[in-house]
Structure 1
């Protein structure tokens, strides 16, 4: 079997998919994307394709090593995401070729179901209660909210109290039998995070995500130590090397993204590294169907897995949903708060190729919002 064609598809609302085809008619799918930089990653996939065309897709680790290391300049979000999507497609091909799900190739499943959570807002607290109630009604047992919108570099008393009030609202709707995670989204300084986190502890959040920007990882240990609230981070970390200092700082939850952190191959190693620090894994995934399918395959085979993010109903999905690009939506059902394991081959989904090709003709040009503080200076989104 040889790889004969590699295609990419820019599909709404903000995703990039890739398809790796072989001379025997099999094709594997991946999702290589950096949100807001899809066209850039598309170019990177084209460059990396030179290493794969005409090759047997079976030796995945061999291909991963070459894609990540056969250049003087390595790593970073664009290259790691391009590798991630191609790696997903190679694992999808391997499973289809052998007629088994990817989780079987990773050593076999350790669970039958994967608990998932959904996003409920938080930038503007006005609709939080209704959003949480709708998520509970849909079957979810866990949600994630933003801690705040634009935050001053030195938050006012009102801003700090607002974070607590938001979480209090959500906890009141959820009760004690469901969970909420709080996403700081890198909007807080380390000093501000240390002020806020201890105030959230009585409300028992499942974790506080990205309390500081990844470039301030040297301050992470002090943030972790300031409160018993479990700290999570990792959506902007792309390798085992990136995760090691965060784990050494004492994070409780690692959040690699299957479409950013080197795909199935690297995320399974990040999970194993996290296990040596007694940390759990909650893969980041506000993306499309292939990224979620790949995440689920890793989750089924990962002992220290906690919970899986998914984007069904998320505010980014305007004009398209991940369910629009699969022929069978069954694998993504969560009526009981979890997605259930199947024995479907590869990544476990059937991509609707016609829908993907049609969407690619329209494409997209999604960009993240650019925020400012009241004085006009740049604010973290």
Structure 2
């Protein structure tokens, strides 16, 4: 039996929280519990969960997941979900390293040899779309994602709507017919606004449109899914199978759970299996760090209905540190013809630069979600 002897957390720039578990035999596993804007809250929950974990058998991943998610009278949501996710990833990392195999082997083995990746272009008010996309193509990607808009009125003006169309048209012109652009509505649009804009985007054939309504309005998403031929994606702010069931029933085409928010590898595997029964593809949300990305890839290599993987190397959010700053060997994250090849190393498949992580934690970070307002002074969706 390998007993958990220590649980540590690291607040690292630009906005991430890493989790490190160690066993009495010296095995180390890493996870990522990054909840953007609320890392301190998640850190406190991980510290509380550590009271239970220390002294437990590290191999009992599912039992620990059940205890951490169900033993508390108050549970669920992004803070608890992210804390569990970071711990869960670290436990899978330990088990893979002890057994000398990648996590995907523990999930039934690889079903593919490579995973298609996409990158971000532009900020919340993208300009220079052509140059930004060309930069992503130059590093080997064949798909990009862009925000549809910055602050969006509750019912968009003609200028706002035309701005969305013009930016996506500029993207399509650069990408041509053999590469893809996904358009992120980012929960900034009302249902009525999404219903008006989506049909106008159809001639540009986006790969998918993402978060066309805010997550608390997920009960409305079926009205959009039935109103457009564009595949509808959502899920970065849904945290359990139970959260996903209504949107799957409503007709989404792409499920986007975040492995650092939705209970880690254990729960996202179950979300993927549920999605498969609705003929829905998995495309995990991951504008985060290297540990979260590695966990996503491990799931992707073992999941039949896996579509594509988001990654944040060079994303405009990253200020003060980059994804690859915290790994010793950057080769596993190299793009080959728009893909990342099958990871070969044990556990999550990466070697975390512990010295860099500890140095970053000494500096810490205090990243907070920006506060946006409409012209009338009311709070706007970021």
TM over 0.5: yes
2:222 corresponds in structure 1 to: 221
1:206 aligns with 2:189: no
Q: Does 1:5 align with 2:6?
A: yes
Q: Within 5 Å, give how 1:222-371 maps onto structure 2.
A: 222-371=223-372
Q: Do 1:184 and 1:210's aligned partners in 2 also have CA atoms closer than 8 Å?
A: yes
On the 8 A contact 2:61/2:92 being kept in 1, the answer is yes
Give the match for residue 78 of structure 2. Answer: 77
> Displacement of 1:59 after TM fit?
1.0
Deviation at 1:122, TM superposition (A): 5.1
Structure 1 stretches of at least 4 aligned residues deviating more than 3 Å after TM superposition = none
1:147 match:
148
Q: Whole-Å Cα distance in 2 between the matches of residues 293 and 305 of structure 1?
A: 15
Indicate whether 1:118 and 2:119 are aligned. Answer: yes
| 2:184 is equivalent to residue 195 of structure 1 | no
Q: Paired residues, what number? A: 381
Q: Is the contact made by 1:84 and 1:262 (CA closer than 8 Å) also made in structure 2? A: yes
| CA contact 2:140–2:337 (8 Å) conserved in 1 | yes
Map of 1:30 onto structure 2: 31
- TM-score, normalised by the number of residues in structure 2: 0.99
Q: Distance in 1 between matches of 2:51 and 2:123?
A: 44
Q: Please tell me the root mean square deviation across aligned C-alpha atoms, in Å.
A: 0.7
1:181 aligns with 2:182: yes
CA contact (8 A) 1:122 1:147 kept: no
The equivalent of 1:165 in structure 2 is: 166
Partner of 1:130: 131
SS of match in other structure, 2:177: coil
SS at match of 2:146: strand
1:341-369 per-residue CA deviation (whole Å, 9 max, x = no partner) reads: 12200000000000000000000001121
CA deviation after TM superposition for structure 1 residue 109, in Å: 0.2
SS in 2 for 1:10: strand
Query: What is the TM-score with the length of structure 1 in the denominator?
Result: 0.99
SS class of match (1:175): helix
CA displacement at 1:123 relative to structure 2 = 2.3
Give 1:253 deviation, angstroms. 0.1
Secondary structure of the equivalent of 1:181? strand
Instruction: Give the whole-Å Cα distance in 1 for the aligned partners of 2:167 and 2:351.
Output: 39
- Provide the C-alpha distance between the structure 2 equivalents of 1:159 and 1:40, rounded to a whole number of angstroms: 36
Distance 2:62 2:336 in 1: 36
Structure 2 partner of 1:98: 99
2:326–2:353 contact (8 Å) kept in structure 1: yes
